[in-house]
Structure 1
Amino acid sequence: MKRILVVEDEESIRELICLNLEKTGFTVLGAGTGEEAVEIFTREGSSIDVILLDIMLPGISGLQVCKQVRQLSSTVGIIMLTAKTQEMDKISGLMLGADDYVTKPFSVSELMARVDAIYRRVAMSGGGQTSTLHYGPFEMNLKSRVLRKNGDPVELTQVEYQIMELFLKNPDTVLDRMEILKSIWGENYYGDDKIIDVNIRRLRMKIEEEPSRPRHITTVWGVGYRFKA
């Protein structure tokens, strides 16, 4: 069963989103405040696949909710709803573990497509291949979807996991930014390609000894990134 938590304080917008999600087969839970969202996720988080989370909320903000949710789960998909003027909030949300963001005002069809893409990514974690990827100090189990470095598990969000899987399948290869974007977010992604750079920053903080002087994920200026042991 597909379950999604919609966190939006404007009731009319929340009802519109919930109605359209229900039409596409989701079981929808709604929350109007950050506190309510955290309470619902604490109680039912294991059954929730995706969270649609507005940044501007009464009480604790969507960014704070994102942070608390990520402390409870690295696998739930999180899409932030942001205003066009909230550029720094977009980056902050991604750095806190959000998988994607949608800018208001948005079309319902775009929002549904983005939710579906995140859901499919989360659903992939339930099964799949049984093989393991090895490269240098890294080992990735494609069934359990766990990355280890020198035997120690590295906790990743779904997006971070997919980027690392792409790197491990293409070691010592320069991947251009558009190639990464299309592989992870899909051919019809509407958002800013800056989302790649933010996720690379997050990954470096998790796998590099010195994130400011990366050894494993290096930048190829004007092109993209190379992964090496």
Structure 2
Amino acid sequence: MKILMIEDNQSVAEMMGMFFQKESWDVVNAYDGEEGLNAFKADPDGFDIITLDLNLPTMDGMQVAKEIRAISETVPLIMLTARDSESDQVLGLELGADDYVTKPFSPMTLVARIKALHRRAEVTETVPAGAVPETTTEDDDFDVVTPHFQLSSKTREAILAGKPIEGLTPKEFDLLRTLAKSPKQVFSREQLLQLVWDYEYYGDERTVDAHIKKLRQKIEKVGPQVIQTVWGVGYKFDDSELDG
């Protein structure tokens, strides 16, 4: 695995570098926002994970995240932040971060988060970045099928009403798959955290809300909204409205 670590605190970068080395991971360090963005632009397909500090010189981490997502909607991105405000964390997720870790953090915590995110992202290698999957009417090619929706965990295709839902991040895809596997079943935020994030998330329910918001925006580009809010409970998948 190759990691781009955009972190202005050199001691943190060096410490994490030792832990990454123990995992036999390669790391490219960038010590300010502009340097990190340029490193990604130079090799946008060369990194398996990006860790991005929020407070950076030359270019704020939020702006870097926005620029990275304009280039790639799917590269896994973990934000590192010393800020503890809910608004900063939610904004980071809405800008496209798949996860965030609040400083100070245990190095093993970050390693565990990276492993968890990479496990879910690595199968996307079967579909090149930016490619539009070829649609098919053979239900056997998909492991989740509803009257108007098909999803393949192998190829990471998600098709609504015959149109591919493009640019899903690993977490967005897993959220959609979890909901669609049980149409009309209502999932609480706590359940989704347990099913989609395979590590302790300490009850951070706003993470689910931020990812649902981004997922809905991508669904709405191809058809009616099939992710519905059940107020006071959680979320469900329902494509029955497309019958009309």
- TM-score if structure 1 supplies the norm length? 0.89
Bigger mean CA offset, 189-198 vs 115-124? 189-198
Equivalent position to 1:148, from 159, 171, 176 = 159
CA distance in 2, matches of 1:81, 1:104: 7
CA distance in 1, matches of 2:19, 2:159: 39
CA distance in 2, matches of 1:111, 1:187: 11
SS in 2 for 1:183: helix
Change (3 A) 1:187 1:116: closer
SS in 1 for 2:100: strand
Shift of 1:182: 0.9
Bigger mean CA offset, 101-110 vs 183-192? 183-192
Paired residue for 2:33?
34
* Structure 2 unaligned regions, length at least 5: 128-139, 240-244
Aligned-residue sequence identity (percent) comes to: 40
Change (3 A) 1:104 1:200: same
**How many residue pairs align between the two structures?**
224
Alignment of 1:212-223 (within 5 A): 215-223=225-233
CA distance in 2, matches of 1:104, 1:111: 10
Bigger mean CA offset, 73-82 vs 50-59? 73-82
Report the AA paired with residue 19 of structure 1: M
Paired residue for 1:165?
177
CA distance in 1, matches of 2:203, 2:62: 19
Report the AA paired with residue 226 of structure 1: K
The question of 1:201 aligning with 2:213 is answered: yes
SS in 2 for 1:46: coil
Shift of 1:19: 1.6
CA distance in 1, matches of 2:203, 2:113: 10
Paired residue for 1:4?
3
Report the AA paired with residue 228 of structure 1: D
* Structure 1 unaligned regions, length at least 5: none
CA distance in 1, matches of 2:141, 2:31: 41
The question of 1:15 aligning with 2:14 is answered: yes
Shift of 1:148: 2.5
Bigger mean CA offset, 164-173 vs 188-197? 188-197
Paired residue for 2:76?
77
Report the AA paired with residue 177 of structure 2: E
Shift of 1:191: 6.5
The question of 1:225 aligning with 2:235 is answered: yes
Shift of 1:12: 1.0
Shift of 1:102: 0.3
CA distance in 1, matches of 2:14, 2:84: 24
| Residue-by-residue CA offset, 1:74-126 (whole Å, 9 max, x unaligned) | 22110001124342221111001100000011111211111111111111323
CA distance in 2, matches of 1:160, 1:215: 15
Change (3 A) 1:187 1:39: closer
Alignment of 1:29-108 (within 5 A): 29-108=28-107
CA distance in 1, matches of 2:64, 2:83: 20
CA distance in 1, matches of 2:208, 2:57: 30
> 1:130, 1:142 within 8 Å by CA — same for their partners in 2?
no
Shift of 1:132: 4.6
Report the AA paired with residue 220 of structure 2: E
Shift of 1:146: 2.2
CA distance in 1, matches of 2:101, 2:170: 17
- TM-score if structure 2 supplies the norm length? 0.84
CA distance in 1, matches of 2:93, 2:203: 13
Moved over 4 A (4+): 127-130
Change (3 A) 1:107 1:191: farther
Paired residue for 1:137?
148
